[in-house]
Amino acid sequence: MLKDYIVKGLCQHVPISEQKIQELLEIPPNEELGDVAFPCFFLAKEWRKSPQLIAQELADNVCIPDVETKAMGPYLNFFFHKGTYGKKLLSNAYSPSFLHINVGQGKRIIIDMSSPNIAKPFGIGHLRSTMIGNALYHLYKKVGYEPVRVNHLGDWGTQFGKQMSAYKRWGNPELIQQDPIRRFFDLYVKFHEEAEKDPALKDEARKWFAKLEKGDKEARELWDYFVRESLKEFKRMYEKLGVEFEYYLGESFYNDKMGAVVEELTEKGLLEESDGAYVVRLDEEEIPPCMILKSDGSTIYATRDLATALYRHDELKGDRLVYVVGAEQSLHFKQVFSVLEKMGRSWARDCEHIPFGLMRLEGKKMSTRRGRVITLEEVLNEAVDRAKELIEEKNPHLQNKEEVAQAMGIGAIIFGDLKHNRLNEVNFSLEEALNFEGDTGPYVQYTYARIQSIKEKSTLKSYGIENLAVISEQYLNQKETWSLLKEVIQYPSILERAAAQNEPSILARYLLDLCKQFNKFYQQNRILVENEQEMKTKLMAAQAVGEIIQDGLSILGLKVPNKM
């Protein structure tokens, strides 16, 4: 918003478009250099003058009401009158149009996210796809898209032959019923341990999966059992995380849709034989061929993902298809999207893989075959227990302790992941994830609770546009207040940028910065003062911060307690 005032003042003096001026404007690294800066290097060649001289000439000629202009080397720096523009910024934060963002224009985005494997525990490693995808869902919705969440469950493949073989050999139905997913997983690990000693087990597993593919009654009943019990467990975990899905469509859903893909590729002359297998060559993309049929005639992941994309575009009416899947699958998705283009699907350009770094355990990749899995429930339970201890220590008389501990503990885990750039690898440490000090979810939640406490103690019970008339410039003319309001007004652009870059960490880091600015403001200002106009003005600033924290945390998937 501040840049808009500068653009209007500068456009009369420089021969470049308003949009270009907007792009060139910078926020100085510290406020002693002003609130906004315009670099003059861009004009040096055309004006045949040094950037320093251009900055000085502009400083002498550019006039914007209540804004001081100063030449500082090659930059023209702008210093806004804090009170005058503080009132404008605060009023704008209460405007109905403040969060009216419609870059999406109602387009439908299908989000492939979470996608755990059936008969395996919901590990801490699943957190990334689940919560990054969930945050993107809320971000897209906030900026005007119609997002749809799809859980592409890993419910098909040769691992089910292994699972069935293990179940038939070592499964104890009564023991399994006590904790089905853990027992399924133990059997899966045991199969891999035994298969190293007895290779014949792998042939047995292949036979079981072949029986499943042919619709064998016993194999199908076992598969249904694995899927049914797994879905119960997954939905219980999603409820803990506050995550929902519009569709659960596993890999098996597309079994009868892959034949049409192979047929179309054959008709269009895109399939080529390669060592007995059939591939689509992608030489023009400078990437390896995409295998469609293995040498034994069976389909592969790429075949399934082509059928999946066609279904999501044609049947679910997705304008954009996004896949929140680990970075190790980048080549796979490049191949799939390239094959779609060769099939004549121009909308393949609107398909996007949203990669993220691996979550490692003590520096090592987690492996379900070796049993190196920390279940997400273990971590969440530990986090909630730590939160309870903290509450007992800091606020033992707090009401709704259990509810607040759940919000704090689970919030700490979610925020601890989302505050990192999604492309970074995360070396998971339970101790670090449960540290409630510093740049954490509980710190942001606590700042919100502090604001609610201030409001509760005040005599002002109405906050909103009806109170804008009482805002006084006199009580906004302070460094900490000005810094806070500049942070507040960035929120809509932060949402746009986070959605455009598919990067929830942009929002998480912004919320941390906002809370730091609020706490500086709070330390330097008595808010509940006798002067009613001063109190109302400061409360309006605090309330604006509170609303943004609540909105931002809900987008990231955290609950916001009123008291902590």
pLDDT at position 384 over 60: yes
pLDDT at position 348 over 90: yes
Domain ranges of the chain: 2-80, 108-269+300-365, 376-556
Lowest mean pLDDT among 111-125, 151-165, 468-482: 468-482
- Residue-wise pLDDT tens digits, 150-180: 999 999 988 999 999 999 999 999 999 999 9
In this structure, CATH architecture of domain 2-80 = 2-Layer Sandwich (3.30)
Residue 373 banded pLDDT, cuts 50, 70, 90: low
326, 309 in Cβ contact below 8 A?
no
380 Cβ contact partners less than 8 Å away, ≥ 6 residues apart: 240, 409, 410, 413
Q: What is the CATH number of domain 376-556?
A: 1.10.730.10
Q: How many CB atoms lie within 10 A of CB 348?
A: 18
Lowest mean pLDDT among 231-240, 286-295, 358-367, 494-503: 358-367
The phi-psi region of residue 277 (left if phi > 0; otherwise alpha if psi is between -120 and 50; otherwise beta) is beta
Which pLDDT does position 365 carry in this prediction? 59
Reported in sequence order, the residue ranges of 121-216 that DSSP labels E, i.e. its strands, are 146-151
Give the pLDDT mean for 55-59.
95
Residue 467 banded pLDDT, cuts 50, 70, 90: low
**Whose structure tokens read 């009943």?**
221
Which pLDDT does position 506 carry in this prediction? 98
- The pLDDT > 90 percentage for the chain reads 83
Given CATH 3.10.129.10, say whether it is the number of domain 108-269+300-365.
no
Indicate the average pLDDT of the chain. 92
- Residue-wise pLDDT tens digits, 490-534: 999 999 999 999 999 999 999 999 999 999 999 999 999 998 889
pLDDT at position 64 over 60: yes
pLDDT at position 433 over 80: no
pLDDT at position 113 over 90: yes
Please work out, in degrees rounded to the nearest 5, the angle formed at the alpha carbon of residue 193 by the alpha carbons of 212 and 127: 75
Q: How far, in Å, CA of 224 to CA of 208, rounded? A: 14
